[in-house]
A = this chain, B = another copy of it.
Amino acid sequence: MNAEIIAIGSEMLTPHRQDTNSLFLTDRLNSLGVTVDFKTIVGDNFTHLTSAVATALSRVDIVLLSGGLGPTEDDLTREAVASVLKLNLKRNNDLLAGLHTRFAKRGITMSDNNAKQADVIDGAVVLPNANGSAPGQFMDTVVGKHRKLVILLPGPPKEMKAMYDAEVRPRLHSILPPRFITKRMLRIALVPESTVDARVAPIYKGYSDVETTILAHNGEIQLHFQYAGVSLNQAQARVDEVASRCEQEMGDDVFSSHGESLEEVVQLLLGLKDVRVATAESCTGGWLAQRLTSLPNASRTFLGGVVAYSNDLKNSFTDVPESVIDAFGAVSGAVARAMAEGIRTRTGAEIGIGITGIAGPGGGTDEKPVGLVFVALADGQDTDVKKLSLSGDRERIRWWATQNALDMLRRKLM
C-alpha cells in the first residue's frame, strides 16, 4: 500500500515554517511496509483543502492528514474530508461532554467554537488525544471500488506523534499484511562521501533486497540499511550481514555501528576507560566543551576547559610559553601542543585537548590561510598533533575542528 501525507496550515506556506510531521510519519509508515509517494502542504482554505484531499484519494491507498482539527474557524480538515467523501459530520455528545469537562477542570467556561472539535465524520473511529483537546479520526472506507484509509491527526507534533503511536499504528498494523522491517545505521566521521561509497558500494550492491541510503551531513557519513523480511529474525540477520561487511570494510572509520552519536560514543569510551578530559580552545571558542557536555552525566568524564582567545590567556590559562607563541605564532602545532599539555596539567585530567586555528573569514595569510587548524591531544606520555586544512565558512570550519577533535579522542580511547 502507498500513502500521501497532507500537512495543513497556512503558516507552512510562508518562508518561515516547514512541515516536519511528515518525517516522523514517513519513518513510521515505512516500518509497516508503506511507501510515501506524495506529500502535500496546503493552507487553511476550504477549496484548497478539498482539492488536496480529492487528489490524494485518487492516487494513494492511505491518506494521512495532520493539522486543522482545532476550534477556530480556520480549522477545516473535518469539514473538507467529509465534503470530499460526501459524508455527514455529526456532533458526538460524548466528545462534547469530554470537552466541557476538560475546560471545567481548568476553571474555564468553554466557548462555543470549541464544540466543533466534537464533530465526527460518519463511519469514522474517534482517536483520543492524550495531549490536547482535538481528537483524531480514522476511516476505513471505499472510494469508487477502492479501499481507502483516511486518517485525521492534530498538527502539534507532540499530540500527533503520541496519537499515531497509540491509536494509528496498531490499527494499520492489523489491516496491513504482516511485514518485518529492520534497520541499521553505521556512522562514519571525516571520510569523504565518495570515498565511503567507492568502498562500500561493491558490498551493498550485492544485497539488492536491502535498501541502502548514504547521507552526508556536517562532517559525518551515515549508511542506512533497511530490509523487509518474512520474519523478524530473518530481517535482522539480513541487515546485520550487510552492515557488518560494510563495517569490516571501513574499519575503525566507523564510529557508531548502531546509530549512536559521536558525543555518545566518546562519552561511553571515556567512562569505560575511566578517563577524564579537559579542553583548551581558541578558534572553536568553547564549542568542543559544549559538545563534550551536551549529554547527561558529562561531569563524570569532563573536568572543564578554557577558551583562550587572546595570547595572554593562552599563557595564563594553559601555560603556553610566550616564547613558543613568538617563535611559531598563535596558530601553530607547537601552540596546540602546549595548550593540550598545559590544560591537562592544570586540571589534572588524564587527557588534554588543544585547538588553535583560523576560523575566518578574515585573519588568513598565504602561509596560514583561513581553515588552517591544529588539534593536539596529550595523554601524559605522547602528544599527537593533527594539522587540518578545512574549507567553508566560519561556522563550518569551527564545527569540523570540533568533529576532528572528538574523532581523535575516540581513536585514542579505542
Q: CB distance A303 to B309 under 8 Å?
A: yes
Q: Which B residues are in CB contact (< 8 Å) with A13?
A: 26, 35-39
Q: Please, how many angstroms separate the alpha-carbon atoms of A222 and B294 in the complex?
A: 27
**Is A261 at the interface (CB under 8 A from chain B)?**
no
Q: Which of B38, B294, B308 contacts A41 (CB 8 A)?
A: B38
**Is A43 at the interface (CB under 8 A from chain B)?**
yes
Question: For A20, A45, A305, which residue has the most chain B Cβ atoms within 10 angstroms?
Answer: A305
Among the listed stretches A48-56, A170-178, A200-208, which one makes contact with chain B, having 4 or more residues with CB under 8 Å of it?
Answer: A48-56
Q: Which B residues are in CB contact (< 8 Å) with A15?
A: 23-24, 26-27, 30
**Is A141 at the interface (CB under 8 A from chain B)?**
no
Q: Which B residues are in CB contact (< 8 Å) with A398?
A: 294
Question: For A38, A213, A297, A317, which residue has the most chain B Cβ atoms within 10 angstroms?
Answer: A38
Q: CB distance A304 to B296 under 8 Å?
A: no
Q: CB distance A313 to B309 under 8 Å?
A: no
**Is A140 at the interface (CB under 8 A from chain B)?**
no
Q: CB distance A38 to B27 under 8 Å?
A: no
Closest to A360 in B: B296
Closest to A27 in B: B15
Q: CB distance B286 to A307 under 8 Å?
A: yes
Closest to A30 in B: B15
Q: Please, how many angstroms separate the alpha-carbon atoms of A304 and B312 in the complex?
A: 10
Q: CB distance B59 to A51 under 8 Å?
A: yes
Q: CB distance A304 to B307 under 8 Å?
A: yes
CB distance from A22 to the nearest CB of B (A): 8
CB distance from A290 to the nearest CB of B (A): 4
Q: Which B residues are in CB contact (< 8 Å) with A308?
A: 304
Q: CB distance B17 to A215 under 8 Å?
A: yes
**Binary contact track A11-35/B, C-beta < 8 Å → 1, others 0:** 1111111101001101100100001
Closest to A28 in B: B15
Q: Which B residues are in CB contact (< 8 Å) with A286?
A: 279, 281, 285-290, 293, 305, 307
**Is A383 at the interface (CB under 8 A from chain B)?**
no
Q: Please, how many angstroms separate the alpha-carbon atoms of A384 and B294 in the complex?
A: 27
Q: CB distance B294 to A215 under 8 Å?
A: no
**Binary contact track A218-238/B, C-beta < 8 Å → 1, others 0:** 000010100000000000000
A-B contact pairs, 23 of them (CB 8 A): A13-B26, A13-B36, A14-B213, A15-B27, A16-B23, A37-B43, A38-B40, A38-B42, A39-B40, A40-B40, A48-B59, A55-B55, A279-B286, A285-B289, A285-B293, A285-B302, A286-B287, A289-B289, A296-B361, A304-B306, A305-B306, A306-B307, A317-B317
